[in-house]
Amino acid sequence: MSHDLDEQRILETAVLRALVPQGDRRRKFLRAVGVSSAGAALASFFPLGALTAMAQQKAKPERAELKIGFIPITCATPLIMADPLGFYREQGLKVSLIKTAGWALIRDKMLNKEHDASHFLSPMPLAISMGLGSAQQPMRVMTVQNINGQAITLHVKHKDKRDPKEWKGFRFAVPFDYSMHNFLLRYYVAEHGLDPDTDIQIRVTPPPEMVANLRAGNIDGYLGPDPFNQRAVYDEVGFIHLLSKELWNGHPCCAFGTSEAFIKENPNTFAALFRAVLSAARMAREPRNRPLIAKVISPPNYLNQPETVVEQVLTGKFADGLGNVKNVPDRADFDPFPWQSMAVWILTQMKRWGYVKGDVNYQQIAEQVFLVTDARKYMAELEMKAPASSYARVRIMGKEFDPSEPEKYLASFAVKKAV
Amino acid sequence: MSGKALSLAAALLSLLFLGIFLAIWHVATVPKAQSQAPVDEYAKLLGKGAKQAEGFPTLAQLGEAAAVQLTDPFYDRGANDKGIGIQLGHSLARVGAGYALAILFAVPLGFLIGMSPLLYRALNPYIQLLKPISPLAWMPIALYTIRDSSISGVFVIFICSVWPMLINTAFGVASVRRDWLNVARTLEVRPLRKAFAVILPAAAPTILTGMRISIGIAWLVIVAAEMLVGGTGIGYFVWNEWNNLNLTNVIFAILVIGVVGMVLDFLIGRLQAAVTYVE
């Protein structure tokens, strides 16, 4: 009990310090009214009880030193910037960010427990939890890292082939089978009447290798993460055909997550991580912070890219590779809320293209993997606005998706893999 | 030509080749006079004017990169940005561990196989089957079963260096001259003493040849393995600079890899010379 009282006292002092920063005046105030009545006076107009509860919740993390894997792309902006800008430190965590060579390795290092938490493509925790393409292990999505921020980049030699109908025989790269990139590219070409499995070739290439492959002529284009779309423009080997926000404005891309086992063993660390990444996302959402963020995440330790390339991605004022300067402030954004409807959409596409067969219990899986309740809790703590609902209808290339009717949605597609 | 004159001529010719090579490089990459187009907003976004290297690096750029890397080879600016010296250290440690394990495994086993014609014939098909497999093909299996990327790297080095040592040890042991073995038998030398006093010295040059081949392969493979798993090492350094399409640093790293490989080969070569005998 005395411990709690101490905590209350410390908190009162902190509030008092904030209200009356000058030391001598504060002491005079305390002497005049007495310490306990000062506390009572403060409590009358300050939610001290709530603040005490919050401070107690910030219990010491079970483990301070953590390894977090990431792929050097702007999708991971919040979890990367949290290191140089001190959001992890603020929560009492000492995080090593481990640059990883590709998504398969991200998966393996999470399964091996070499990494404690990780940057994921948002379909990956769903796939791993279902045992698709790996051993089955329950993975959880804490926050979505970014929305929008991807693009279809084509080789400069295809400058006049802007209609997907002319793309028969093209070779495209995507970062991973279980990626939004794969599903969005398939969706896009299918809407234009091409079968992504037979009319074009889709190959998996780690994002950092996409530009080199495009230059070598190994591929005709890619639906890939930034900064590699912008990097292709910077190196004058490619142009931006279309931003992913033109397909689905507000689509999720990458996620931040960890394993169910980690959460069970380290609840306080989990909470601290959640707060750190959400605080970073909150800062990243402000357009005026973007140039600073570009500066801190560009050095070799993180993205290892020219700062101007990263800045063009984050501010949305960019060269498109066709001679135009475009201004699209919402080219990339960092809304962390893990909509369960997004998970349902991903599952419909996994079924559409044959990655999962048989009956899928869409909502049950979505609700297990996308931790909406926790996200809401920690967002409220940080006074970030979280939507009341976990499901939302969206329009993707003009076609409505109703998350409560996934099977009906699936049946409505003309192009899909024959079962 | 006497020996001295020959080596002098060879050295001069080597220098001449180097000169020609550098001259071709210089001519091929000499910066063209930049057209003085006004730098408008679009060009600025493409980094015109600010961009350091356009296309293949020039000799001056390479020299500059080398100077920057070599003046501070041990800097540490976080988990993913360490100096070339630290990266080399990680690579050498991995190669050392995998290679040492391979010696511990291959030399005794090769000894047994070499001494027993039965074992030799029984195991030969497996060795022949496993030998030509690219060590990197083992990587996914290693990652899946060992569950640690760093140890997987060591395992890949082990698996690639084990075959030349095994085969050479077995061959060296099997082809010790019959006369010497007969002498040992006449003198009633006990088996253990025979192994260490007769067979080992006789087979040592062949065993060392196997070890020399192995260290070359191990150094080739570590770069590829580290490009695959990342994290640390000279292979990761190449990969990280390639991601940034920074050819200058990639070329510099290639030079360093070559020099280190040469030194490793030289060291084992000296060891080999030390155990070689003249009949």
Q: Residues B86-115: pLDDT tens digits?
A: 899 999 999 999 999 999 999 999 988 988
Residue of B nearest to A208 (CA): B243
B124 touches chain A (CB under 8 A): no
Low-confidence ranges of chain A (pLDDT < 50): 1-5, 52-53, 56
**Taking residues B212-236, what's their average pLDDT?**
88
Single pTM value for the model: 0.80
Give chain B's domains with CATH numbers: 58-275 (1.10.3720.10)
Tokens in use for A156? 């400069």
pLDDT in tens, B172-223: 988 888 888 888 888 888 888 888 888 888 889 999 999 999 999 999 999 8
A241-250: b (≥16 Cβ within 10 Å) or e: bbbbbebbee
B139 or A230: which leads in pLDDT: A230
Q: What is the pLDDT of residue A45?
A: 54
Confidence class of residue B239 from pLDDT cuts 50, 70 and 90? confident
Q: What is the pLDDT of residue B67?
A: 86
**Among candidate residues A204, A193, A184, the one with its CA nearest the CA of residue A164:** A193
Most A CBs within 10 A among B44, B45, B151, B247, hence the mutation to make, goes to B45
- Please enumerate in sequence order all residues whose Cβ is within 8 A of that of A296, keeping only pairs 6 or more positions apart, or say none: A81, A84, A85, A302
Partner-chain residue, chosen from A108, A301, A319, that has the shortest CB–CB distance to B42? A319
> Nearest CA to CA, how far is B42 from chain A (Å)?
6
Tokens in use for A376? 């809401």
- The ipTM (two decimal places) reads 0.73
Q: What is the pLDDT of residue A414?
A: 85
B80 touches chain A (CB under 8 A): yes
Residue of A nearest to B238 (CA): A101
pLDDT in tens, B48-93: 755 555 567 888 888 888 888 888 888 887 777 888 898 999 999 9
> Nearest CA to CA, how far is B152 from chain A (Å)?
12
B84 touches chain A (CB under 8 A): no
| Inter-chain Cβ pairs, chain A and chain B, closer than 8 A | 89
B35-60: b (≥16 Cβ within 10 Å) or e: eeeeeeebeebbbeeeeeeeeebbee
Residues of A in contact with B77 (CB under 8 A): 299-301
Give chain A's domains with CATH numbers: 2-57 (no CATH), 65-148+252-306+334-411 (3.40.190.10), 150-248 (3.40.190.10)
Partner-chain residue, chosen from B45, B144, B240, that has the shortest CB–CB distance to A304? B240
> Nearest CA to CA, how far is A264 from chain B (Å)?
21
CB contact under 8 A, A108 and B50: no
